[in-house]
Amino acid sequence: MNIIELLFGTLSVLAIFSALMLVTSKNPVYSVLWLIVTFFAISGHYILLNAQFLAIVNIIVYAGAIMVLFLFVIMLMNLNKETEPQKNRWLKLAGAVAGGCLLLVLVAALKDVDSKKPENFALLNGGNTGLIKNLGKELFTTYVVPFEISSVLFLSAMIGAVVLGKKEKQNEAAH
Amino acid sequence: MQLTNRAKPVDRQPMTFLESLYLWNILKGMLITFSHLFKRKATIKYPEQKRSFSKVFRGLHVLNRDAEGRENCTACGLCAVACPAEAITMEAAERLPGEEHLYREEKYAVKYEINMLRCIFCGLCEEACPKDAIYLSQTFAPANYGRKGFIYSKDELLIPHPVNDKEAYQKALGEKASSN
Amino acid sequence: MYLLAIDLWFILEKAILIASIIGLSFFIAMYTTLAERKVAGWMQDRHGPNRAGPFGIFQPLADGGKLFFKEEIIPLAANRSLFLLGPGLAMITSLVTSTVIPWGAPVVTANGTIPLQVADVDMGILIVFSVVSIGVYGIMIGGWASNNKFSLIAAIRGASQMVSYELPMGLALIAVLFTTGSLKMSEIVASQAANGWHVIYQPLGFIIFFICALAECNRTPFDLPEAENELNFGYHQEYSSMKLGFYLFAEYINMFVSSAVISTLYFGGYDIPFVNEAAWGLQPWLLSAISFGVLMAKIAFFLFVFIWIRWTIPRFRYDQLMNLGWKKLIPLALVNMIITMAVMLWLKK
Amino acid sequence: MNALILSAVLGVIMMFSSFLLKQKPAVRAVAISGIVLVLLVNLLEMTSQPFLTVDTRGLLVFDHFALVFNTVIFAAVLLYFLLSAPDMEKVGGSYAEYFALIFFILCGVTLVTSFTSLLTLFLGIEIISIPLYILTGSDKRNLKSNEAALKYFLMGSFSTGLMLMGIALLYGAWGTFSTEAPALLASMPPVLVVAGMSLVFFAMAFKVSAAPFHFWTPDVYDGAPTVFTSFMATVVKGAVFAGFIRLFDHAFGAQQPQWQFWVAVITVVTLFVGNITAVFQQSVKRMLAYSSIAQAGFMLFALYAMNAAGKEGILLYTAAYSFASIGIFAVLARMNDYTFDGFNGLARTAPLVAGALTVFLLSLAGIPLTAGFIAKFYMLKAALTTPGSTWLVIFAVLMAAVSVYYYFRVIRAMYFREPGESPAPVFPGFFKWTLALLALLVILLGVFPELLLGRLYF
Amino acid sequence: MPINYYILLSLALFTIGIVGVLTRRNAIIIFMCIELMLNAVNLLLVAFSKMHLNAAILANDAASTAGTDGQLFVFFIMVVAAAEVSVGLAIIVMMYRNIHSVDVNFLNRLKH
Amino acid sequence: MIAFFLILIPLATGLLSFLIKEEKTAKAFALLSSLATLAVSLLGLTLMKTGNYLHFSAPWMSSLGSSFTLQLDGAGQVLCLLTAVAYPLVLLGTWQATYKNAQQFFGLMLLAQAGMMGVFLAADALLFYFFWELALIPMYFLSSIWGGERRIPVTFKFFIYTFAGSLLMLTGIIYLQAQTADQSFSIASFYNLELSGKEQSWIFWLFFVAFAIKMPVFPLHTWQPDTYEQAPTATTMILSGVMVKMGLLGLIRWLMPVLPLASFQWGDRVMIFAIIGIVYASLIAIRQNDLKRLIAYSSIAHIGLMCAALFAENNSGTQGVMIQLFNHGINIIGLWIIVEIIERRYGTRKISELGGLAQQAPVMTIFFVIIALANIALPLTNGFAGEFLMFNGLLQAKSNFAVAYTVVAGLGIILAAVYTLNMIRNTFYGEAVVLRAPVTDLKLNETIALSLIVILILWLGIYPQSMLDLTEQFSREWMNKIDVSHLFRK
């Protein structure tokens, strides 16, 4: 077992454990924190795969921006109390079993992927495609059109924030 | 009605864009603070350095003695009457025979207390005293752990004996002595 | 010395470097607290602390000692684990940033070059950025876990402030990256040594970046999270003892690191201006030491500016803060970026 | 491509017009002239006279089908603006923003109709979805609207997740995101392809609200402000269908034997659920929501058959269904009462509107000489040319007969019942004549479908 | 690392996400589970991209840029996720303002 | 062109009629229009032998493989003539009836006429389908707006039934089109199809259900009595007199020649249904108290007989059907006119509430008796020739049970006599149960209409050859088309 495998194992266990904690935590704030841990574990995987750019962007975007917003909203709503009433235990169990079955089916379907063939190995710690220079070059040549188009997405999200967040004048008059 | 010429009307013009950036004002402020780095320090290193007081400074009270060390106070109560803060209380007593070296007059104050927490250091007691028995010294900044400690008794107020404890007497007199 | 296929010498070298940087950070942070009080005193025509040791140089030690020995209080209604996690997070995030800053010219030895930088990674500046974006958790978690209204409000304020100011900061940064063409901190320094400091090309960008740095460090005039006259003491109101110390210290370390980043990005890092130090023919270690000193001087200057501003400019109101961030700085940063882009294109032609 | 760029620019213009233009009619005028412009630009591109050509590096291909389809969409949006734009004022305060969002959705629509890469498909679908979430929740004071938005959003993102997993698995198998040459890297066993394809299929079925992935549709359509329901149920649905078909035609054409049966199953379920449930609705809006599921069932035939007739059919179907539904929704938005009884005696109080509405309903029901008939006809034809699918067609036809029941309930209410006490809705003259024009268009398309289909081939 | 490991890992994460979506009732947590699903996808995409790169290198194409597209796709997914989050949280907050709850079980007004 | 005008005149006048304000004007306009159609139709009759005038073709929906092709063959000619004749009769016969929004009523009536004409003329399957629906929609509105109390659910049932059937037919049409060599809907291509027995078999049922609903044949008839009862009488006349013939024409032109094998195979089954229908309907008719319902059930019986005779697949039966197509239409319209008069005068249709009308309205009684006798096919009335030929045909059918069929169907005739005579006796003779208001005899317009009908009845009863000539050639050609015997020899 070399260091890479060790790291892979550790990160995987961490990722799955914290994902499980995310789902099972009663307190939403804990869920957020566990999700952040998951993101870090996944970022670790990216670094193992030498996808440095994505590793960093993952942290900046997900951990640094998205999860802050989540935390923010949860704190604003003061959801720290365990407001979620106890759900039917059986339903929970059913959900878990259904998920497990889904996993089993998917894995069983995909187990045929030949893991012995050298082409079916993910290259670790090598290859420069994950470096920002290469990604940038590709992004601004081949993928420049979708890149530009994705700005539309942000514009609409921006408008959305305005439309949904702005206080209605009539509303104030009513209160 | 204009009282002085220093009155300045408030400018309620909306700020221009440049003004709204506050850049110049910020810079001005920064320069001002920076210039203060090099100004003379207004504070002094107190225990080591002390400021000199003006001649009319009114500090803690002192009960005076005459040159032979006899107490001047006759417990007439004028100071207590004059005190606007009602900080002074006293009890009078007859001088007994054999005490002439202690008290200058036949009557003296057995108990003389000034509550320094009430005192406003106005100096009216000093003015009221017909016997020159009380005056305000240049000492200040009493510190204490309890409120009781601020009620100064006669012992604490009396000036040191001019004969027995000459140096202390001189020190206590301070500038007051020289002014007289 | 290979274990699990790792070069242990390498680890050792980095470990020493990391340890010394952490030590340095603590040291500087400690003395920045002193400097703050001193400068504050001077600017108000006072002397500042001067009792502990000559000129008060042992004052930080005294403060530290005091914080250590004070009673630890954890409020009953607080969320215990998160309450403990908060200051730790704040401390760690403030320390991590310094890994990518080049502290001096690399030391060239016979056995190879030892860079005075923990990690010269491909996307150095992005790491700074990512850590900054994580930094908000310390405040948020601490403020929330205290279970106190004031702390919570302060934490939310802090979070929204930091998230808002990250944007113009990033935009200003992009303009720098245009001119450099690399995210590596070492290359950013090298390109400044060759072409002149970025502050010359990017004055507007620098100002924006600096303002954002102030906001990210929760320094006046943007210290809304600890606005004592409305929020008592802000997000660390319920903290005491060394946990409070961590928060306070983290702020100073943040200042230190921000100064280092600003120096590196806009003021040439460890580059000595107007001279060609290579021509002096000094020993490499000496050269490195000098360059380190130069960087520290720059950092010291910025630390001074931080303090200077604090004692000059009054605190913003919350809406003013947000307006400044979203309605002034972001457009300005965009303009800056576009102008830079246009000029670059024009020059390339 | 020109239309895509232009509509993005128009979206931005509308954004700015929210604070530059104070008058709502002015905003409306800008929006309408904008969509006219988009339509013209698209027509020019269709006749090979584009203003500017952009090298999309093979991520988008604007073939004839895409361009014609876009033309239909833009025309539908134009009519939608003409009819329903004044009603948007009632929704909330952000009038210009709604138009901006709609223009952005049009960007997404052009992407979805012309993608050649899974990336652009994904982007397109998201650009469509995100503004839709917003529009759904735009009636902020209304709890129903809030709920619909949240529900739509959660379900929509969930399906996006499924789709992405599918795309990831496909990428693992193909080594590329292109939908044009997916068989290049066939070193992996096709199990990845099958798994990925199924996930993508589920997700797309979800987006077009095919049963059993339809459960969100009625609630969302019911909860959203009626003007936007109109847009969602027509233009957007048609576009996503186009994308669905394009994807399965280009990328999974070779696997048709594997998925065809499942499409058939979904079609049957969709038709059944949509039609049968629609019968029991009391609100016209909800009935239309279920009917849109039912209509999706018919549109699935194009996917099932995946032949020329199917593609022509989806084009016609989109046009027919959109035009008719836009008309109905435009009237519905002005009604005081959304139940069937709300339509009582409309023929008496507003004969022209009732007449146009009748034409639309007939078209939806698939009565000849309306566009709806031709559309259904093409779908049946497409399916029938596929061997062994007669049972499917017969089932569909029976379901279409069921659909007549609920469509004619509206007609019955309008013509055979007395008006209620509540004040009759008012329809301005412009609205009435636009509606009549739309009705005429529906009939025209029904009588001369070549007007549209002819564009496909030259 | 055999690609199977990565498939297994990311499918596991994906399934945990799905189970979370199905069993939890707090809208925000459901939303987080969706984010988890997206991240599982991202991981798988990166792993596949490196697998394709590996294959290209094994086929003696050392300078290959195979797999770049996979990583860029991840980039786009992140972009979309960011936009989605802003809208989604806005919706959730709007909802909260009205009913003071984020429990999806309250979403039943439309059923009647 | 003649064929085209047959559609164009009612279509155009129908649309124009919506613009008229006055009720009287609308009525007159409709009458004029129908007379014009009649004139054109008669012109067509004279030109029939010369061929090409009766054919019209224009390009339309060519991308679908369809075209606007009309053709006037024997069966079509008979039915067009019937339509053209029926309208003036109906309008005249119900001249007194008043309608709310009369312009719409007459407009829809004329549109329905255009639709029916189209159905009878179309030589293109898609066109046929279009007109099939076009005829249906106005009928739906007519019945739903101007009908009786229970009009809305009843006509809705009628509409759904018919529409479902026609959609099934559409499926069949599309399937057949896909099988044609030139992907065309034209009737010629359909006739040239060579389909396997299995295919023919299920397409047969798709088509047959549609036609059977329209006619209606026994198990699918449930919409009919209610609709006839609830619809306004003028509409009922068109429905029962003309519209049901659409189903028969479908059988004649579109079903049996296109799917001869299946027609042969399933003919027996269909005949059984039809004949059950005859007996069933007749039995129910006996029990009816409402004149309208009685006539409705009698119509089911008659249509059943025609259907059965058609599937006998021989010359005699076919000829009989051809004649009866026209005659039944004329007769039943006559019956309805009188029912309408009775209802309007006496305010009721219940047989139990009527009686002794012969004393008040002798002229009407005479007319009624003649028409009723024609309806039960007494010799020397028009019904006789047709029914005789049909029974003849039934007897010669290539079925093992031909005799049984004939006997049972004959039972239907006897039953028809029972209920018809019963009705005459109870309504016109016997005790006058209800006698309100001074009753007048026929008005002029009614007299004209009924006289015309009676003239037709008598003329065709005495000289049926004129009708036979018209259809003989067609019938022979048709027999060739549906002949499957050559297949057996192989």
CA distances F163 to C240, D363, D366, D405, Å, are 83, 14, 10, 10
Contact residues, chain E, for A98 at CB < 8 Å = 19, 22
C107-109 and B88-94 strand pairing: unpaired
User: Between the CA atoms of C266, C270, C276 and C278, what dihedral angle is there, to the nearest 10 degrees?
Assistant: -150
CATH number at residue E76: 1.10.287.3510
Give the per-residue pLDDT at C233: 80
Whether pLDDT at A88 is above 70: no
Nearest CA in chain E to A146: E76
- Find all residues with CB under 8 Å of F405, minimum gap 6, and list them: F271, F272, F275, F308, F394, F397, F399
| Digit-coded pLDDT (tens) for D344-358 | 888 888 888 888 999
**How many angstroms separate the CA atoms of F26 and C198, rounded?**
91
C239 touches C172 (CB < 8 A):
no
Nearest CA in chain E to A148: E76
The token duo for A149 is: 């188009």
SS3 F401: coil
Cβ atoms < 10 Å from Cβ of D203: 24
D251 touches D353 (CB < 8 A):
no
Q: What angle do CA D440, D312, D229 make, to 5 degrees?
A: 60
Nearest to C125 by CA among C82, C193, C179, C195: C179
Q: What share of chain F is helix, strand, coil (3-state, %, to 5)?
A: 80, 5, 20
Name which of A70-74, D286-290, D328-332, F394-398 the model is least confident about: F394-398
Query: Could you give the number of structural domains in chain F?
Result: 2
SS3 C112: strand
**How many angstroms separate the CA atoms of D66 and D50, rounded?**
15
Q: Is A109 on the interface with D (CB under 8 A)?
A: yes
The token duo for F371 is: 């028409």
Query: Could you give the number of structural domains in chain E?
Result: 1
Residues found in chain E: 112
**How many angstroms separate the CA atoms of F316 and F311, rounded?**
11
| Digit-coded pLDDT (tens) for D270-288 | 999 999 999 888 888 889 8
The token duo for D20 is: 């530059």
Name which of D309-313, F72-76, F274-278 the model is least confident about: F72-76
SS3 A83: coil
Cβ atoms < 10 Å from Cβ of E6: 24
Say how many Å lie between the first and final Cα of chain C, rounded.
Answer: 53
Contact residues, chain D, for A113 at CB < 8 Å = 188-189, 191-192
The token duo for A24 is: 């099972």
Task: Read off the pLDDT of each residue in B87-98 and give the average, rounded to a whole number.
Answer: 88
Print burial letters for D388-413: b (CB count within 10 Å at least 16), e (below 16): ebbebbbbbbbbbbbbbbbbbbbbbb
Whether pLDDT at F114 is above 60: yes
User: Between the CA atoms of B25, B27, B33 and B37, what dihedral angle is there, to the nearest 10 degrees?
Assistant: -160
Contact residues, chain D, for F178 at CB < 8 Å = 381, 384-385
State the count of interchain CB pairs (< 8 A) between B and C.
35
pLDDT tier for residue F50 given thresholds of 50, 70 and 90:
low
Contact residues, chain E, for A131 at CB < 8 Å = none
B107-115 and B88-94 strand pairing: antiparallel
Q: Which of E33, E69, E106 to mutate to test the interface with D (most CBs of D within 10 A)?
A: E69
**How many angstroms separate the CA atoms of F337 and F233, rounded?**
8
Q: Which of B129-138, D355-364, F289-298 ranks highest by mean pLDDT?
A: D355-364
Residue F73 lies in a domain: yes
Question: Percent of chain F, pLDDT > 70?
Answer: 95
Residue F192 lies in a domain: yes
Give the per-residue pLDDT at D397: 86
Question: Percent of chain D, pLDDT > 70?
Answer: 98
Q: Which amino acid is at F104?
A: Q
Say how many Å lie between the first and final Cα of chain B, rounded.
Answer: 49
The DSSP bridge partners found for residue F350 are F290
- CA of C175 vs chain B CAs: smallest distance (Å): 22
The token duo for F51 is: 């061929």
| Digit-coded pLDDT (tens) for D322-348 | 999 999 999 888 887 888 888 888 888
Range of the domain at E98: 3-102
Q: Tell me the average pLDDT of chain A.
A: 80
Give the per-residue pLDDT at A174: 41
F84 touches F74 (CB < 8 A):
no
Give the per-residue pLDDT at C198: 86
| Digit-coded pLDDT (tens) for C316-341 | 888 888 888 888 889 999 999 999 88
Task: Tell me C2's DSSP state.
Answer: E
Beta strands in chain E (DSSP E): none
Give the per-residue pLDDT at B179: 46
Task: Tell me C117's DSSP state.
Answer: S
Contact residues, chain E, for A38 at CB < 8 Å = 13, 36, 39
Whether pLDDT at C299 is above 50: yes
Query: Could you give the number of structural domains in chain C?
Result: 1
Q: Which amino acid is at F163?
A: F
- CA of A156 vs chain C CAs: smallest distance (Å): 18
The full set of domain ranges for chain D reads: 2-457
pLDDT tier for residue E77 given thresholds of 50, 70 and 90:
very high
F60 touches F457 (CB < 8 A):
no
Whether pLDDT at F437 is above 60: no
CA neighbours within 13 Å on the CB side: how many for F459? 10
For tokens 């847009």, name the residue.
D231
Angle (deg, nearest 10), helices D143-174 and E3-23 = 170
**How many angstroms separate the CA atoms of F67 and F70, rounded?**
9
Nearest to E98 among D146, D162, D177 (CB): D146
Whether pLDDT at F438 is above 70: no
B37/C42 CB distance under 8 A: yes
Residue that finishes a domain, picked among F209, F235, F258: F258
D191/A109 CB distance under 8 A: yes
The full set of domain ranges for chain A reads: 3-174
Q: Is the dihedral of CA E8, E9, E14, E19 positive or negative?
A: positive
Say how many Å lie between the first and final Cα of chain A, rounded.
Answer: 67
F34 touches F11 (CB < 8 A):
no
F133 touches F141 (CB < 8 A):
no
A143/E72 CB distance under 8 A: yes
Q: Is A162 on the interface with C (CB under 8 A)?
A: no
Whether pLDDT at F434 is above 60: no
**How many angstroms separate the CA atoms of F22 and F229, rounded?**
28
| Digit-coded pLDDT (tens) for C243-292 | 888 888 888 898 898 899 899 888 888 888 777 777 777 777 788 888 88
Question: Percent of chain F, pLDDT > 90?
Answer: 0
Residue C23 lies in a domain: no
Q: Which amino acid is at A63?
A: A
The DSSP bridge partners found for residue C3 are C6
**How many angstroms separate the CA atoms of D111 and D124, rounded?**
5
A110/D195 CB distance under 8 A: yes
CA distances E26 to D136, D157, E104, Å, are 21, 15, 6
Range of the domain at F396: 264-484
Task: Calculate the CA B120 to chain-centre distance.
Answer: 8
Give the per-residue pLDDT at B84: 92
Q: Is E6 on the interface with A (CB under 8 A)?
A: yes
Chains that contact D by 3+ CB pairs under 8 Å? A, E, F
Q: Is E4 on the interface with A (CB under 8 A)?
A: yes
Print burial letters for A43-61: b (CB count within 10 Å at least 16), e (below 16): bbbbbbbbbbbbbbbbbbb
Of C138 and F433, more confident? C138
Q: Tell me the average pLDDT of chain C.
A: 84
Whether pLDDT at D423 is above 50: yes
Q: Tell me the average pLDDT of chain D.
A: 86
E110/D144 CB distance under 8 A: yes
Whether pLDDT at D67 is above 80: yes
Of D156 and F475, more confident? D156
| Digit-coded pLDDT (tens) for A125-146 | 667 777 778 888 888 888 888 9
The token duo for F459 is: 């003329």
Give the per-residue pLDDT at C78: 84
What structural domains and CATH numbers belong to chain B? 61-179 (3.30.70.3270)
Whether pLDDT at B148 is above 90: no
Q: Which of F105, F167, F169 to mutate to test the interface with D (most CBs of D within 10 A)?
A: F167
Residue F313 sits in the same domain as residue F220: no
Whether pLDDT at D30 is above 80: yes
Q: Is A45 on the interface with E (CB under 8 A)?
A: yes
Nearest CA in chain E to A151: E79
Q: Is B39 left (phi over 0), alpha (psi -120 to 50) or beta?
A: beta
ipTM of the prediction: 0.84
Task: Read off the pLDDT of each residue in C42-71 and give the average, rounded to a whole number.
Answer: 86
SS3 D382: helix
F129/D368 CB distance under 8 A: yes
Task: Calculate the CA C77 to chain-centre distance.
Answer: 33
Name which of B24-33, C96-105, C212-221, F299-308 the model is least confident about: C96-105
**How many angstroms separate the CA atoms of D177 and E19, rounded?**
28
Domain spanning A3-174 has what CATH number? 1.20.120.1200
C122/A131 CB distance under 8 A: yes
Residue F246 sits in the same domain as residue F313: no
SS3 F289: coil
Q: Is the dihedral of CA C152, C158, C164, C167 positive or negative?
A: negative
Task: Calculate the CA E32 to chain-centre distance.
Answer: 9
Q: Which of D129, D146, D285 to mutate to test the interface with E (most CBs of E within 10 A)?
A: D146
**How many angstroms separate the CA atoms of C90 and C162, rounded?**
13
